[in-house]
Structure 1
Amino acid sequence: MTEDYYVGAYWGVRKETALECARRAELFFHMLARCDPSFVQWYRAGRGFPRELPGHPVRTEVEALEKWLLQGRNRTDVGKHVIEDLGFSQMMWNAKKEATEISIHCGGYSPWGGPNSCLLKPTRESPIRERLLRVSVLAEVLTSMAIAWDPDFAMASSSEMVELLEKQGFEVRVGWLTYLSRRRGRLPPLPAPVRIEPVGALGWLLVLSPEPMTASNPEHVAFTSRVRELLDRAGLIAWPRPEPAGE
């Protein structure tokens, strides 16, 4: 599997404080640590960390996460004033080499600032990669994201597959595994071998195949495209765009 796989959760405008986001992040890291041993300790950038470490260890208690998120506020180029409606952005990794990375953007409520998101990108070259790119692990990661961040949708896929399937600019993305919030609407009947699992009362997890879905396999592309089309007909794919002022 040489494709660039990632797991991403996305949600629209949601005004939240750094403390509210930190509570979500604390739950996310707590759940994530149970998905794989490599997800237990994370590191961040900054001066003065020990050379033998990948960075400063990230403390996953609410108080530390709140402070960390506040350090990730967007600021103006001139005057360095905080841009409140763009929320908080931070990233971290779990190793010096062959690292898995996490980037978080939360608390944003500007209609022009793009979606809030939580992205996890597994290492590209490592024996760990094969362990992470399994349905059982990815389903747990997606479930962790769904419960902690309550996104509109989340998916595990390769960038190459997304590029082949995406048709409307940014839209609800369908991947090898896909989470859809109940806020999006009702699921239509989907063809075998799609497996549908409820995620509490929040939404559904769709597993298109027990084996990795790759953009290099025409059958995988055709099947994923078929599922996307059925979801689109049910009104679950289109992502609402803000209207220009005055229209």
Structure 2
Amino acid sequence: MKERYYVGAYWGPRQETALECARRAELFFLMLARCDPTFAQWYRAGRGAPRDLPGHPMPQEVKELEALFLQGRIRTSSSRKVIEELGFSQIMWNAKKAATDIHLSCGAYSPWGGPNVCLLYPTTEEPIRKRLLRAPVLAQVLTSMVTAWDPDFAMATSSEMVNLVEKRKWEVRMGWLTYLSRRRGTLPPLPEPVRIEPVGELGWLLILSPELMTASNPEHVAFTAHVRELLDRAGLIELPAPATP
């Protein structure tokens, strides 16, 4: 069975307007389009979408993106009142079948709500999947996310690998590729073949191997767990639990 790989960026409460989120999204999609040809056009749900397309084409301009985020505000189930502190949410995809999906939640600042996230789930369709699951491509995708959203941490890995190496409910998730913001602290020395690349002045991208790392390979699991332990000893892994309402 194929492992489910994904790229995820996570950050804590950050109050931002729909316009501020739209500016970040514009930069994100601009950079993402350079990573692979399949990332050039995105679609969203909604009534009246053209039947020959996967959905409504996603807007590219800031003002249109701002309006889209305002449509994606979280509301109460009964009165449909906007819950301002939960920010904005949108889901989009790039094809009708076997699509790459993006889930965005941003602008949330509730101390007890979930994190702000940008998640990308690559297609299961070959040969596109194989092309995307390469370290240089995923490094570009992560750099796009980090540059646009300035998360606390981000990674590219499989859900199966996370399940094997994660030890706490609230912690930085380690993966094949892992990004750590400078806000997290200082990196300790790490063993070969880990490659450390700066992402501007924001933080560091750790590439644990130039080859695809899988949860089905015990050596890959052991090495990922070892690097996680070194980072944990340096105080970079544990995250504070959300406040209790």
Task: Give the TM bin, normalised by the shorter chain.
Answer: over 0.9
Tell whether 2:108 aligns with 1:108.
yes
The aligned residue for residue 84 of structure 2 is 84
Cα distance in structure 1, aligned partners of 2:243 and 2:117: 21
Aligned to 1:120, the other structure's residue is in SS state strand
The percentage of aligned residue pairs carrying the same residue is 75
Q: Which runs of 5+ in 2 are unaligned?
A: none
The aligned residue for residue 170 of structure 1 is 170
Cα distance in structure 1, aligned partners of 2:194 and 2:244: 39
Q: Which runs of 5+ in 1 are unaligned?
A: none
How far does residue 243 in structure 1 lie from its aligned partner after superposition? 4.0
How far does residue 219 in structure 1 lie from its aligned partner after superposition? 0.2
The aligned residue for residue 64 of structure 2 is 64
How far does residue 240 in structure 1 lie from its aligned partner after superposition? 1.0
The equivalences for 1:1-247 within 5 A come to 2-244=2-244
Deviations 1:8-48 (A, max 9, x none): 00000100000000000000000000000000000000111
Tell me if structure 2 keeps the 8 A contact 1:198–1:205.
yes
2:220 counterpart letter in structure 1: H
Tell me if structure 1 keeps the 8 A contact 2:53–2:96.
yes
Aligned length: 245
Cα distance in structure 2, aligned partners of 1:125 and 1:144: 23
TM-score between both structures, scaled by the size of structure 1 = 0.97
Cα distance in structure 2, aligned partners of 1:193 and 1:242: 35
How far does residue 78 in structure 1 lie from its aligned partner after superposition? 1.4
1:11 counterpart letter in structure 2: W
Cα distance in structure 2, aligned partners of 1:244 and 1:114: 12
1:44 counterpart letter in structure 2: R
How far does residue 170 in structure 1 lie from its aligned partner after superposition? 3.0
Deviations 1:99-157 (A, max 9, x none): 10001000000011111000000012331100100011000000000100000000000
Tell me if structure 2 keeps the 8 A contact 1:98–1:126.
no
Cα distance in structure 2, aligned partners of 1:187 and 1:90: 34
How far does residue 98 in structure 1 lie from its aligned partner after superposition? 1.4
TM-score between both structures, scaled by the size of structure 2 = 0.98
Deviations 1:183-222 (A, max 9, x none): 0000000000000000111000000001111000000000
